[in-house]
Structure 1
Amino acid sequence: MAGDKAHPFPGWRLGTGAADADGLPVLADVDVLVVGGGAAGVAAATVAAEAGCSVVLVEKYGFCGGAAVAGLSGTICGSYLARENGGPSARVVEGFTGRFRAELLRRGGLTAPQKYGKTYTEAHDPLIWKETADDLLTTAGVRLLLHTSVVGVLLDGDRHLGAVLESNAGRSIVRAARTIDASGDDAVAARAGLATYFGDNGVIQNPTMFFRIAGVDMDRYLGFYGTDTICPPHVTTAIERARDEGLELPRSKIWIFPSTRPGQLLVNATRLSGRDGRMLNVIDPEDFTEAETTGRRQVRDYARFLRRHVPGCENAYVIDTGTEAGIRQTRSIVGIETLTNDDVLSCRKRPDGVVRSPWPIELHTGDRPKLHWLLDDSYEVPYGALVPTGGEHIIVAGRCLSAEHEALASARVTAQCFEYGHAAAAATLLSLEQDVAYRAIDGALVREPMRDNGSLL
């Protein structure tokens, strides 16, 4: 937790009778409520609706995309194997990830694979990401509620019956047979009082503020920086020297990605901590505010550094920052199983594995990110990491899965988040069809429809 602050944010525990007595209008009665319109939520809602379920998707912003768009993280990481020589490698994550990727490519919204150390990633256009999500959800028949937040939960004992929503129209209720918490922060689970935790005994990864610059002479830039998106040693040296100019440049190792647009770069450079040096936990709105104001200030200084010290960037200018700080980690659910650090390091495969990941442990603490590569291999995330130990009729999807600290630093990225949503939807369909609890479902049965939908498991 941030500093000595607590993060209670108690939920509003109402049964259906109490809710009706309170006079709140019932907005919808549906099979599935999905909370959060990031990669996991879009996948979960689309897959469930295409299977014939009635689905409401609630998103607090005026667009879908989550960390990929609001946070401007801007890349689909986690699809490609890592190789020691850094040569071309196989794409080993498909399923809904591959489907969304193909749509971005078709619309001109995704770059060719870009070198990222020993693996590859792809940068996307945030506007085309939004449009792709809009089209998939609309075509599937999802009822999408933008500019809407969850402020409470509907419970009968420990059984989830839906949520209380807040918008400019006031408060209302969505009643749902099943709830998928794809908020990234366990927003529904925490309000219901389910067990959650923050990182390693409260220590979580630093947030960041992504930004984009335009006006870049790409030939000169690439001639100096190179084609690896992780900065070379001479750029790190230049950053460390530029601190003598009074620039606030806390991170020495930065990442820069050419975008789909001519002369534009996506920059991941900032490191956000409190004015007193403490870790910021963006569950706390004061910490969130400090992260974003600090982030915008650091963006200006990193942009000045690029103009002064990186050839090709002399006339570059900032065109935007993230709508919010880039969030790597907040709450995690306590699941019936937990993805362990050893699972990742040993590249463990398992019969109940529902999501594959070849992404390195990418831990953001201190002035340099720490990378541990998984060479020519991948691991699988167990189904039980999405299932809370308490509560009925609720499952999570996205970075709030149950995972140890270093394991989450690998498992949290975009390609995997699409597939967590895919897995949550597949499990939800089984739960509804068989009228069984999520924790009673064998993860091996969740793999089968996922493989039918193209997942490489």
Structure 2
Amino acid sequence: MNNTLDFPAWLTLSRYEEKPALPVFAEVDVLVVGGGAAGVAAATTTAEHGKRTLMIERYGFCGGAAVAGLSGTICGMYMASDTEPAPQQVVYGFTERFRSALANRNGVTAPQRYGKTWTVTHDPLIWSEVADTLLEKAGVQVLFHTTVTGVIMHDEDCIGVVIESAAGRSTIYAKRIIDASGDAAVVARAGYAYKYGDHGKIQNPTMFFRLGQVNLERFLSYWGEDTINPPKVSDAISLANSSGNNHLPRNKIWIFPTTKPGELLVNATRLTARDGHMLNVIDPVDFTEAEILGRRQVRDYAAFLAQHVPGCEHSYVMNTGTQVGVRQTRSIVGVETLTNDDVLACRKRDDGICRVPWPIELHSGERPMLHWLLDDYYEVPYLSLVPAKGENLIVAGRCLSAEHEALASARVTAQCFEYGQAAGVAALLSIDQNQRFRSLQGQQIRTVMKNLGSAL
């Protein structure tokens, strides 16, 4: 580590009488916190455009919810329709760049039917390897096994963070910070405003798992082409629950064939606390309970599949997510907010930085609530990524400013890639033009993203 305690030359101090007693690890143009879809896109974008970029990630690999949470699909690329028989892709940009890189390594499937739309399933190891390659080629400095424990403020502006690893604590100063943690970790520590869902009610987490040694021909013959289960499976789950010997809280489940022979990715669990309250994984007590209950539910659903679904008779659980899959925690209070009406009306806008064709997919009960956006999409405003208060800090990923039902549509992986690229572009323009994030026009971001391949 660099043990100098000198402050960056570009920072004029007005409130510090003494320098903090921590070593300075780095002074960079852009710091990206979080190595999921949004963080990888943001860091790659800024580094490829000449900015000294550092990314920190708490795990030893990139992927976030897609890999650690084993969500396993890139949702949000295709339109939903009752009439179109084939997938209609409407999201490109960094999303398509990453999907293509996965495809070049045989790490992603062809589109699979998901209700009225389509999705693809990816290999989690190849996902991390593709991210490693993109970041390394771009020149991003990556720190795995590193977390943010505090922030460094200059008046109301965030100018750096305190990080911690096995080596101890140190500081990173950055001209611009992109909070791609998913949990608004930097925003919260900076004291900027955020909220939890609908007056504290958030979507429940889930524990994904992979099932091996499946006879896929027999499975697909029974299950059908839709990755959402047929009604006969819901009936079988309800019947199994009525015996009192099973705990299968969701009777609407989703199963995806993967890139590997004889393997399925299963999204079946619904995790609530033993006392019935909705688990919020920001609280480590809730997070721990979710992990323990999640692994138990995985065994129950795996046993059900082996007993009741043809092709799964000899299957076994290969692995679960490193952590539970998290759909929602903090959402920032932004300069602008994506509203439920924006989504329902499929609103287009000249400051939109991302298309979203994905349905409102709300997980808060026995059956997920799906509201389809048929043959259409909406666009997300740039300023929903910018906190209402403070400066030098922008978010990317599921912690954008959005109303509860709107977030249930806007939070998926394809869009997180695009939010990351939008935040990266904003950081570039903000530095080069010496402008505040909130002073940038969404039309500026949109124009650059179109030049980078986004469909807008």
Tell me if both proteins adopt one fold, taking TM over 0.5 as the criterion: yes
Contact 1:36 1:182 (8 Å CA) reproduced: yes
Answer whether contact 2:74 2:413 (CA < 8 A) is retained.
yes
Runs of 4+ residues over 3 Å off in structure 1: 15-22
Residue 173 of structure 1 is aligned with which of 168, 171, 174?
Answer: 171
Correspondence 1:364 to 2:359: no
Structure 1 counterpart of 2:108: 110
Q: 1:336-355 maps to which residues of 2 (within 5 A)?
A: 336-355=335-354
Label 1:25 to 1:254 Cα distance change in 2 as closer, same or farther (>3 A).
Answer: same
Gaps in structure 1 of 5+ consecutive residues = 1-14
C-alpha distance in structure 2 between counterparts of 1:142 and 1:89, whole Å: 34
- Contact persistence 1:78–1:413 (CA under 8 A): yes
Task: Report how far residue 227 of structure 1 moved.
Answer: 1.1
Partner in structure 1 of residue 237 of structure 2: 239
In the other structure, the counterpart of 2:442 is 443
Q: Show the 5 A alignment for 1:19-418.
A: 21-85=19-83, 87-245=85-243, 246-418=245-417
Give the secondary structure class of the aligned counterpart of 2:45: helix
Aligned to 2:5: none
Percent of residue pairs bearing the same amino acid type: 64
Q: Following the alignment from structure 1 to structure 2, what is the Cα–Cα distance between the partners of residues 19 and 121?
A: 55
Residues in 1 aligned to 2:343 and 2:242: alpha-carbon distance in whole angstroms: 40
Cα distance, 1:244 vs. partner?
Answer: 3.1
Q: Structure 2: which amino acid aligns with 1:234?
A: K
Q: What letter corresponds to residue 319 of structure 2 in structure 1?
A: D
Q: Distance in 1 between matches of 2:132 and 2:17?
A: 31
Deviations 1:399-424 (A, max 9, x none): 00000000000000000000000000
Q: Is the 8 A contact 1:351 1:444 kept in 2?
A: yes
**Deviation of residue 22 (structure 1)?**
3.4
- Check whether the contact 1:16–1:154 (CA below 8 A) recurs between aligned residues: no
Quickly say closer, same or farther: Cα 1:257–1:16, change in 2 above 3 A. farther
CA distance in structure 2 between the aligned counterparts of 1:393 and 1:323, rounded to whole angstroms:
32
CA distance in 2 between counterparts of 1:70 and 1:17 reads 40
In 2: Cα distance, 1:19 partner to 1:329 partner: 40
Equivalent residue letter for 2:266:
V
The whole-number CA distance in structure 2 between the counterparts of 1:452 and 1:200 is 37
Equivalent residue for 2:8?
Answer: none
Q: With the length of structure 2 as denominator, give the TM-score of the two structures.
A: 0.96
Alpha-carbon distance in 1 for matches of 2:350, 2:435: 20
Q: Write the letter of the residue equivalent to 1:26.
A: V
Letter in 1 for 2:453: G
Deviation per CA, 1:292-320: give whole Å up to 9, x if none.
Answer: 10000000000000000000000000000
Whole-angstrom distance in 2 between the partners of 1:162 and 1:101: 33
User: In the TM superposition, what is the alpha-carbon distance from 1:86 to its structure 2 partner?
Assistant: 5.9
Question: How many pairs align?
Answer: 443
- Greater alpha carbon shift after TM alignment, 236-245 vs 18-27: 18-27
Q: Can you list the C-alpha shifts for 1:131-156, whole angstroms capped at 9, x where unaligned?
A: 00000000000000000000000111
Post-superposition shift, 1:23?
2.3
User: CA–CA distance in 2 between the matches of 1:19 and 1:394?
Assistant: 24
Q: Aligned with 1:224: secondary structure?
A: helix
Q: CA deviation at 1:254?
A: 0.1
Kept in 2, the 8 Å contact 1:16–1:161? The answer is no
In structure 2, how many angstroms separate the alpha carbons of the residues matched to 1:116 and 1:435? 45
Q: How far did 1:196 drift?
A: 0.2
Query: Per-residue CA shift, 1:174-205, capped at 9, x if unaligned?
Result: 11000000000000000000000000000000
CA-CA distance at 1:89 after TM superposition: 2.6
Q: Deviations over 1:50-97 (max 9, x none)?
A: 000000101000000000000000000000000114621310000000
RMSD: 1.2
> CA offset at residue 21 of structure 1?
3.2
- 3-state SS of 2:255 partner: strand
The CA deviation string for residues 102-160 of structure 1, in whole angstroms up to 9 with x for no partner, is: 00000000001000000000000000000000000000000000000000001111111
Cα 1:18/1:324, change in 2 over 3 Å: farther
Within a 5 Å distance, the mapping from 1:3-22 to structure 2 comes to 21-22=19-20
- Say if 1:20 and 1:91 are closer, same or farther in 2 by CA, change over 3 A: farther
Residue identity matched to 1:422: Q
Secondary structure in 2 matching 1:21: coil
How far residue 16 of structure 1 moved from its aligned partner, in angstroms, is 9.9
The question of 1:423 aligning with 2:414 is answered: no
Task: Check whether the contact 2:15–2:154 (CA below 8 A) recurs between aligned residues.
Answer: no
**Structure 1 residue aligned with 2:10:** none
Give TM-score, length-normalised by structure 1: 0.96
User: Distance between the aligned counterparts of 1:291 and 1:85, measured in 2?
Assistant: 39
Q: Name 1:9's counterpart in structure 2.
A: none
Name the aligned partner's letter for residue 429 of structure 2.
L
Alpha-carbon spacing, 1:226–1:364, altered in 2? closer, same or farther (3 Å): same
User: Residue 322 and residue 349 in structure 1: after superposition, are their counterparts in 2 closer, same or farther (change >3 A)?
Assistant: same
In structure 2, C-alpha distance between the alignment counterparts of 1:38 and 1:16, rounded to whole Å: 35
Cα deviations across residues 36-58 of structure 1 (Å, max 9, x unaligned)? 00000000000000000000101
SS at match of 2:398: coil
Q: Distance in 2 between matches of 1:399 and 1:353?
A: 16
